[in-house]
Structure formats: C-alpha cells, structure tokens
Amino acid sequence: MTAKQIHIALARLSDPDIAAHSMRFFKTGKGEYGEGDRFLGIRVPVLRRKAKEFINTPLPEILRVLHSSFHEERLLALFMLVNKFSKGPPYERKEIYQLYLKNTKYINNWDLVDISAGHIVGAYLADKDKQPIYCMAESINLWERRIAIMSTFPMIRANDFTTTLNVSQVLLKDEEDLIHKAVGWMLREIGKRHLSVEEEFLKKRYKDMPRTMLRYAIEKFPEKDRKRYLLGLA
C-alpha cells in the first residue's frame, strides 16, 4: 500500500458525526492541547484492523501517513509501526525506533503517545542506556515529556522501576495536566506490582505533587489510605 491508497481507503470510512465528537474530545479548540487537529471520524478498532491489513506497507510510506494532517491517519501509522516493530528483526526495530524519535512532532496527542511510546521507545531501550528517555523528560515539548514517562511502562511490567521513578522525579512539578495524569498512572502501575516502592516515593513527595498526579497515583489505594494522602496525613 502507498500513503495515497491508504488515504483513499480511510476517506471512504469517514463519518462526520464521529469526527465532530472527536474534535471536542481531543480538545482541538483555540488554545487547547489539540488545537487545529483534523479528524476523519473513524473508530480505533477499525484502525487497528486496517493496520493489520496494511502490514506490508513499506516504512517510507508509513512515514508519509504519519505526516498526515488527519489524526486517524497518524494513529494508523503508529499502529503499523508498532506491529512492524513487534515482528521485525533487530535492524528494523532500530530503524523504527530512530524514525519514531525523529518524528515526535507528529505524535502530538495523548492517544498517539500512549499506543506507541512503550511499544517502540520503551521496548527498544529496555536493555539499553535510558538517556534518550531522560532527555525527552526535559523537553519543552509536552508530547515528548509524555513519551518519556509512557516509555517506561514495559520496564514497570518487567518489575524494573528505576527509570519510571527517575522520570517521575523530573516531571514532579510539570505544569501540564496531561503529564500529571501520565505520571500518576505510571506510579499507580508500580504500586500494583510493589506497593511499598510506590509508597516510599510518594511519602517523600506527595505534599509537593500536583493534585491530579497524586489522585491518579493513589486511585487503587484503600479509601482510608487515599484520605490520609489527600489530607496530608500520610
């Protein structure tokens, strides 16, 4: 498949009502985080199926799809990259990882980050130097900072919490709500596997955390413990 053929195929699936809802859901208004984004109106499960159908699309064509002004086309491109990465040989995985980092400006909403960062960046760096993640955590770009924390998810699943905790420390006083949610989410995931590790991190920092980050981090705690943290009594 070529990028043009993919665009034509997706255009046939577009739905104006879904597109209008998506524009509201992904905050595309002036001054909002998704300002100016365009939508075709295609549900995520449909895009996942299409990504499998288009699995043999060459990387240069996927890159062209990733550069689309339409949100769903960028999402489809990322699904295809994730699929190729998971099945590819080491040289192709490296190429996809490098392509991903060179094109972060097109990975510009939370759903695009969340379905791809862990599966590509996190998976590639699992047994390598994590410096690229730390660099993104310091980025002025909101989405690169979200990529940084979300890239640590595979490491959490492997019970390696160091990178997540280090990145969480860097992002502790980030001004963006979407970063607060992502950091809190990853801390919660640590707590699911090793509660004492999460609590050790929280007890030293929870009073300085943004409220949203804290709420996400303690969401699965027993009610009495959540209240202690929220009242500053932990």
Condensed to tens digits (0 to 9), the pLDDT of residues 7-44 reads 999 999 999 999 999 999 999 999 999 999 999 999 99
In DSSP terms, which residues pair with 38 in a beta bridge?
70
Q: Identify the residue whose tokens are 């590639």.
A: 124
For residue 35, give Cα distances in angstroms to 39, 60, 84.
12, 27, 30
Ranges assigned E (strand) in 27-172? none
Rounded-to-integer distance, Cα 112 and Cα 33, Å: 13
Task: Delimit the domains of the chain by residue range.
Answer: 1-108, 116-234
Rounded-to-integer distance, Cα 100 and Cα 94, Å: 10
- Side chain identity, residue 105: K
Tens digit of each residue's pLDDT (9 = 90 or more) over 160-207: 999 999 999 999 999 999 999 999 999 999 999 999 999 999 999 999
Is residue 47 within 8 Å of 75, Cβ to Cβ?
A: yes
For residue 117, give Cα distances in angstroms to 15, 56, 149, 203.
28, 21, 9, 28
Rounded-to-integer distance, Cα 6 and Cα 138, Å: 35
pLDDT of the residue at 234? 85
Q: Which of 227, 162, 158 is nearest to 193 (CA)?
A: 158
Cα 165-227-188 angle, rounded to 5 deg = 25
Percent of the chain at pLDDT exceeding 90: 99
Is residue 119 within 8 Å of 85, Cβ to Cβ?
A: yes
The hierarchical CATH code for the domain 116-234 is 1.25.10.90
Does residue 73 have a pLDDT over 90? yes
Does residue 1 have a pLDDT over 90? no
SS3 138: coil
pLDDT of the residue at 51? 97
Is residue 53 within 8 Å of 79, Cβ to Cβ?
A: no
What 8-state DSSP symbol labels residue 13? T
SS3 38: strand
Q: Exposed (0-12), middle (13-18) or buried (19+): which is 124, by Cβ within 10 Å?
A: buried
What 8-state DSSP symbol labels residue 119? I
Q: Identify the residue whose tokens are 């739905």.
A: 15
